[in-house]
Structure formats: structure tokens, C-alpha cells
Amino acid sequence: MPAPPPGEVLVKVLRAGICNTDLELVAGYYPYCGILGHEFVGCVETGVDSLIGRRVVGEINASCGKCSICSMDHPGHCPHRTVLGIVNRNGAFAEYLSLPAENLHVVPDVVSTDAATFTEPLAAALQIPKQVKVGSATRALVVGDGKLGLLVAQTLHLSRCQVVAIGRHAGKLEILSHRGIEISMSNDFSGKGFDVAVECTGNQEGFAIARQSLRPQGTLVMKSTYAGKLTFDASSFVVDEITLVGSRCGPFTSALELLHRNEANVESLIHERYSLVDGIHAFERARASGVLKVLLEMD
């Protein structure tokens, strides 16, 4: 049982989603030792009277609030931060967790617990339009039909971009096709001249496809973590004046608003559910090819 320090809140976890980052951590992406899990919905048990009994989701970076980076309003990059289930803080694959009260956001009553589990990755997808200027004239390619890729394609589509999404699984891509998004199988794709390419596969092949698709002075957004090393032709980035953007966490408030308005199709991404006691089997299933979101149910 966590013992929340002053300013933190005890949350009983209701639901948590297994993310590719969790799988990459197991594969050695970062030397973390602790309880995994950062996509969650829970119910506040102690800490702040106005939150007790409310369903909440939580931003994963807990900053110091005192350093120069925090003073510039960049708490997600605080050098002293802990990160839920990733850096020096136990995560959500447990019955209880602890987070600072300011990290928590109340889930609207009309949003289901299942849907709210996607708040963190949906917020991450919404970070891209905050970093890269996009509009109706923007041609954007999304590489990868995993959970994050499907969310990125949907949020860019809502930004009125001309979106093309590519992947290896026709069934996954159909989720986007039903929302009016152009799709293509990776093996059949040879598109060029895109303004923006978002790499959501976390592998060498996906990065290469994203790079080759760009026009000169285009922007490549890296949205996945990599367990292994990545190699690429740096000279081509210089010659074509390619902008490389790393993209991580995003705005929870905007993500909850999208879920409230039912403008993002997230529940169709749920593939299977497991109880916490079967968590090891859930991880094995989440690693399988073609599987989308696997949820752990604590309630």
C-alpha cells in the first residue's frame, strides 16, 4: 500500500492499459525497476476532499516545481521528476498508486472507465499539433497501425489535415477507414512529398518509410520509444533540411474534452481484458502481432 507524501493523493486503480512503452521497458528501453503502468483510471481514496470518491486520470510526470525548467512551465522535462511506472515511481499495474494532486483530472460522468483509460495516449497524440503547425493544406503520413498510430491519425484528421495512415494489418486500418481517413498497406505504399510524417512503429523500417516519404524541408515526428539503437543517413537530413521532432506527453484536458464529445474512437481499440492476477499473461498477449489494447481490470 503506497503511503502518499504531503501533496499527494492515494488512488485506487480501476483500470489500466498496457502500452508499448511498458513492453519496451521490459525489453530494456530504460533501466527501470518497479511497478509498471502509466495509463489508468482510478478513484481517489484520500488526499483532497473535493476529489475523494471521484474517478480520475493522472499526468505521469511528477515534477519538483522549484527548478529553472519548472519555472519556465515545462514540468514534463524537470530533471528531478519522477514518472509513473517509468522513472523512480511505482506505476498503475497495482491496486493503488500515489500521485500529486495537481496531476489528477476528474473524468466526466459521461465518459466510460474503458474510454478514459485512453486519456494518456490520446493526450500524447494531441501533442503533435501543439509542436508542428498543421492545417487543411498539410499532407500528413502516419506510419504504424498500433494503438498510438490509430490515435495519432484520428487527432490529425480532426485538425483537418490530409491524412494517410499505413500499417501491416488491414483490420486495424479499417478502424480509420470508417472515419474517412485514407489508408494503405505498408507493403503497397510508395508515397512521397508529405509535409509531415509521424513515426509510430518504434522500429528501423518504420523510421525509414517516414523519412523517405517527406518532401524537402518536411518534418519527421518521432512518437515511439526505441528499445534498440536507430541508425539513419544524417547527411540526407542536412541536404533536405528535414526537421526532426521528438514528441512525448500531451494535454490531458484536451484529451478528456475529445472523449466527452465522443470525437475519438477509442473503445474499438480494446482487444482483450485480464484481471490483475493474470497480468503476466496479459503482457504476453499484448506482445502478440495484431493485438491492440490489452486492459487490466482491478475492480
First to last CA, the chain: 16
Superfamily of domain 124-246: NAD(P)-binding Rossmann-like Domain (3.40.50.720)
**Start-end of CATH 3.90.180.10 domains in the chain:** 8-118+266-297
Confidence band of 30 (pLDDT split at 50, 70, 90) = confident
Predicted confidence at residue 245, as pLDDT, reads: 97
Predicted confidence at residue 113, as pLDDT, reads: 97
Predicted confidence at residue 210, as pLDDT, reads: 96
Cβ partners under 8 Å of residue 119, min gap 6:
39, 41, 57, 105, 107, 252, 255, 256, 259
Predicted confidence at residue 229, as pLDDT, reads: 82
Cβ partners under 8 Å of residue 169, min gap 6:
145, 290
Predicted confidence at residue 156, as pLDDT, reads: 97
pLDDT mean over 70-91: 94
Mean pLDDT of all residues in the chain?
95
Host H or E run for residue 218: strand 214-222
**Start-end of CATH 3.40.50.720 domains in the chain:** 124-246
pLDDT mean over 15-38: 92
Question: Residue 226: is its pLDDT beyond 80?
Answer: no
The CATH architecture annotation of domain 8-118+266-297 reads: Alpha-Beta Complex (3.90)
